[in-house]
Chain A
Amino acid sequence: MSAEVVVASGQLGCHLNSGCGFPAPGAEIFLFDEVAAFTIGNLEFHITKVTILLFLVVAIILAFFIYAFRKPKLVPRGAQNVGEMAYLFIRDGIARDTIGKDGDKFVPFLFSFFFLVWLTNFMGIVPFAQIPVTSIFAIPVAFALIVYVTWVPIGIYRQGFGGFFKNLLFPPGVPKAMYILLAPLEFLSNLIVRPATHAIRLFANMFAGHLLIATFSIAAFYLLSASVIGLLGSAASFTMAVALTGFEALIQALQAYIFTLLAAVYIAGALNPEH
């Protein structure tokens, strides 16, 4: 945690004009001490604050939606109302819009992704949590990998092994000679770049957002000193940190939506290769 790093660096008293350079936050604010570890087979598992937050999110999602939908009424009220809005947003706004009539089957999949990604993102602006779980690269990679191993088998199942790769690598309506150039590009684009960007887009947004908030927060602290420029700068940095927190709230939801929408688009492409 950034404060821990600052404390550990002995920079709590580090301010402008105190003979101390600006302790710009770096990659270290994404590293956490392990609170527990265990080994299964040859694999060592490190439990950190991020792991705990991840499973907190898992528990919150399950608790809320199981509670909200435990005994659904025809006329919704309270938690069911909220849950229903969420469900209809995923079903109508993403699944049916993108995938079409087969979309309903993928609602649980997309629903899980949207809320898991959104709430792990959201941990970035929750007081005391203050780290987007998805800014730890392995987490978006895990999510993107699940999407990848979902849509590729679906495509192979629906179009046959040959059909799937033919549709993927040889898009119709192109002169035959172009396939020499196009097929490797399509292979790279669809099977390698696609899952990579799927993970990196989410990771980089959350990483950068967290870094920005941390930078302005530390700046506000660092500039807090007995000088007009320092005070003004501190106030400006603090304002910026607050504004960025609001902005991040937006980005977090947006990235969750984009991640889920892309998952739906990939599945739709695997189901109906014409599009």
Chain B
Amino acid sequence: MINVIAAAQAAITAAGGEGGEEMPSVLAVPIDELIIGIIAFIIVFGGLAKFALPNIKRTLAERADAIEGGIERAAKAEAEANALAEQYRQQLAAAREEASAIRTQAQADRSAMIEEARAEARAAAQAVTAQAEAQIAAERSQATSALTQQIGELAVNLAGKVVGQALTDDARVRQTVDDFISDLERQAATARGSAQQ
């Protein structure tokens, strides 16, 4: 028992009186330790506030903005898409209308063209008919004059044979024949004119 007490006393002496000084209280607040504690905080606060936390604060704000902005952008894109769809619909309707108009126009054009072609054809046919008629008239007139001449010659020949003398070189005879022939021609022309009417 005495041993135990002695050992304890020795321990206390050894622990407390290590430097031969009185042991300071655990509740003592030495100024140097206080200042060191304050400095430690200031370093941490300054370092974090300057180099670390502004970055993350900005990033978090950006992230919030990105998420909110994303929603906003999506809404905007949707509205844009709707507007575009509406525009397409309108354009489609306009295009349909235009196509129908073009079709109508084309139909009208075709009718006009057919009408024109028909008119042209008619005109051409009339021209051909007119030409043919003119040619026929010319040929008839040629044939008539040729016939008249032959008839004249035949008549002179016949008359010569009937009179019994040559009448070829007599100017009076020739005049008479010519008159006769022109009279014939006149009659023929008159007859033709009345026939044409």
State whether A108 and B45 are in contact (beta carbons under 8 Å apart), knowing that A28-B15, A69-B56, A142-B34 are contacts in the complex. yes
Partner of B33, one of A88, A109, A139: A139
- Minimum CB distance partner of A48 in chain B: B33
- Within 8 Å by CB of B15, from A9, A62, A87, lies A9
Contacts of A249 in B (CB 8 A): none
Q: How many A-B residue pairs have CB under 8 A?
A: 150
Query: Interface 1/0s, chain A 46-73, versus B by CB < 8 A?
Result: 1000010011011001100110111111
Q: Do A27 and B23 touch (CB < 8 A)?
A: yes
A116 at the interface (CB under 8 A from B): yes
A30 to B55, CA, bound (A): 39
A146 close to B (CB within 8 Å)? yes
A54-102 with Cβ < 8 A to chain B: 54-55, 57-58, 61-62, 65-66, 68-74, 80, 83-84, 87-88
- Knowing A8-B15, A108-B48, A108-B53, the reply to whether A138 touches B63 (Cβ < 8 A) is no
| Interface residue count on the A side (C-beta < 8 Å) | 59
Contact B34 A62 (CB under 8 A): no
The verdict on B113 contacting chain A, using a C-beta distance below 8 Å, is no
Q: Which residue of A lies closest to B14 (CB)?
A: A9
Q: Which of B23, B44, B56 makes the CB contact (< 8 A) with A72?
A: B56
The answer on a CB contact under 8 Å between B48 and A21 is no
By the criterion of a CB under 8 Å from any partner CB, how many residues of chain B are at the interface? 47
Smallest CB–CB gap between B32 and chain A, Å? 5
* Interface positions of A from 1 to 32, Cβ below 8 Å from B: 5, 8-11, 14, 19-21, 23, 26-28, 30-31
Q: Which residues of A come within 8 Å of B, CB atoms?
A: 5, 8-11, 14, 19-21, 23, 26-28, 30-31, 43-46, 51, 54-55, 57-58, 61-62, 65-66, 68-74, 80, 83-84, 87-88, 104, 107-109, 111-113, 115-116, 136-139, 141-143, 145-146, 207
What is the interface of chain B, defined by CB distance below 8 A to chain A?
3-5, 7-8, 10-11, 14-16, 18, 23-38, 40-41, 43-45, 47-49, 51-53, 55-60, 62-63, 66
